Structure 1
């Protein structure tokens, strides 16, 4: 509880409420600043953290991947804060960041986003794999190999500037939901030539086995007794760096603290084990 001198107690209630709020904000700001500087021992703050949602074939929200939960827990411990997680579709997340609201985790950086977002240092790297039907003759060596192809990309997902420049020019974007079963159905039915799939896994064969097992698990591995399988091309599209992000004038001090925690974790070895798949 904040102490007010006696002469301030004679102010109207509304004035005292405003003053209390100002003093409380001031004390919170001071605590966060001293924490960012590595001094003091402020009480843990609660921060809203937006993370992209994914849903299964029944529309049920898929839990955050364990390796991402470990990363989030690392930063909560390192920064002495508590993240209140909000799972939202990616377009909602980018819209809220554009309005200067909240903090997000799991976004890649490009020039368009940098117009209204600020980013932390990279936290980890996702490998963006190209998934095709097993009988497809498609191969990938460079971006020109996507010429004339229909490419499934989850709605709201953005990659590097060069790929963004070629959207609907070199290749046609088939906008997807984040639901994996829906994406696989579109691919296997011939509604697109390929789709892009993010994974921490660095070997195409492992991603391919994972996706083909998923087809079995959700009873999509055959139609009319005809086996259905996918193939993951051996060369990924890109290695995509993943960041925390906030609006341009929001959470500046917190992002600096996150960057400090990234550097500290890299040096101490605490962070890299959390990023192994």
Structure 2
């Protein structure tokens, strides 16, 4: 009986060793040819992007538009960067960018800014329209028509190099917070003569005014603006290039990736479609 048990145990051990050897051979074969290859997916680098805060008629922050979010997602796919939008007041956005805490979107050039910021490739050209209210209507055909006028602009916003050279020389500026409805109310009350507003989409006065009265002003939900009719300059008074920007010497590799993606996006046409719906 003891001899039988010994033989049985020996047979089981041999069988186990044979199975292990076969499995090892199979694993070795699989490791050479049949095992699926491991694909390493690199998560996009997260970059904070400061976006100008916009407020509704009650002073509540408005959410980032879906068009802008889709525009930012373009850089996830084409630059390996996840642009995380943070809305803050404009002057704070500029300072936080200078402190190296992120980059800023919607930035235009001025002589002073060029000394401190590194600008991306141009993303879009904004048309700066002059808006007036009441009678008699101002001509608003050229910068000369703004002479000695009080011009309403958003606080901390530049409308390009030509605007920068003319402000406080040809006209006086009245800077307001990002609450757009308050700027229009001041225009109605004659506390400012002209309001400057930049948009990308429209190159004709009639299309611009149609959008202003039928879409933009109703969207502000300000009862004081309902039914009010504004007029605009026949053509844009200024043209402004819009960019990303970082502090000089900060986030340079990320800015290079953004530049490359912008160039490629316009070449393929993908970025053109995304930019056309921004406002």
Q: What TM-score does the superposition give when structure 1 sets the normalisation length?
A: 0.78
After superposition, give the CA deviation of every residue in 1:165-214 in whole Å (9 maximum; x if it has no partner): 22222101111111111011000011011111111221322332233235
1:147 aligns with 2:151: no
* Number of aligned positions between the proteins: 234
What secondary structure does 2:111 align onto? coil
Residue of structure 2 aligned with 1:220, choices 224, 228, 234: 224
Give the secondary-structure state (helix, strand or coil) at the position aligned to 1:260: helix
State the SS of the aligned residue for 1:158: coil
Aligned mates of 2:119, 2:41 — CA distance in 1: 26
> Counterpart in 1 of 2:245?
245
Q: Indicate the SS of the match to 1:250.
A: coil
CA distance in 2, matches of 1:141, 1:240: 17
Q: CA RMSD in A?
A: 1.9
Name the SS for the 1:168 alignment partner. coil
- Provide closer, same or farther for how the CA distance between residues 183 and 43 of structure 1 changes in structure 2, counting only shifts above 3 A: same
Map of 1:209 onto structure 2: 210
The equivalent residue for 1:55 is 55
Q: Aligned in 2, Cα 1:188/1:124: closer, same or farther, shift over 3 Å? A: same
Unaligned stretches of 5+ residues in structure 2: 1-39
Secondary structure in 2 aligned to 1:249? coil
Structure 1 ranges of 4+ moved more than 6 A: none
Return the structure number with greater helix share.
2
Q: Give the direction of change, closer, same or farther, for the CA distance of 1:187–1:115 in structure 2 (3 Å limit).
A: same
Contact preservation (8 Å) 2:50, 2:87: yes
Alpha-carbon distance between aligned partners in 2 of 1:249 and 1:221, rounded to the nearest angstrom:
45
Q: CA deviation at 1:127?
A: 1.4
Conserved in 2, the CA contact under 8 Å of 1:97 and 1:116? no
Report the counterpart of residue 95 of structure 1 in structure 2: 95
| Aligned residues of 1:101 and 1:246 also touching (Cα < 8 A) | no
When Rg is computed on C-alpha atoms for both structures, the one with the higher figure is 2
Match of 2:119 in 1: 119
Question: 1:256 & 1:191 partners in 2: Cα distance?
Answer: 44
Q: 1:100 to 1:133 in 2, by over 3 A?
A: same
**Partner in structure 2 of residue 130 of structure 1:** 130
Q: Show structure 1 runs of 5+ residues with no match.
A: 1-39
Question: What is the rounded CA distance, in whole Å, between the counterparts of 1:136 and 1:221 in structure 2?
Answer: 20
Task: Report the TM-score, using the length of structure 2 for normalisation.
Answer: 0.78
**Contact 2:130–2:194, Cα closer than 8 Å, also in 1:** yes
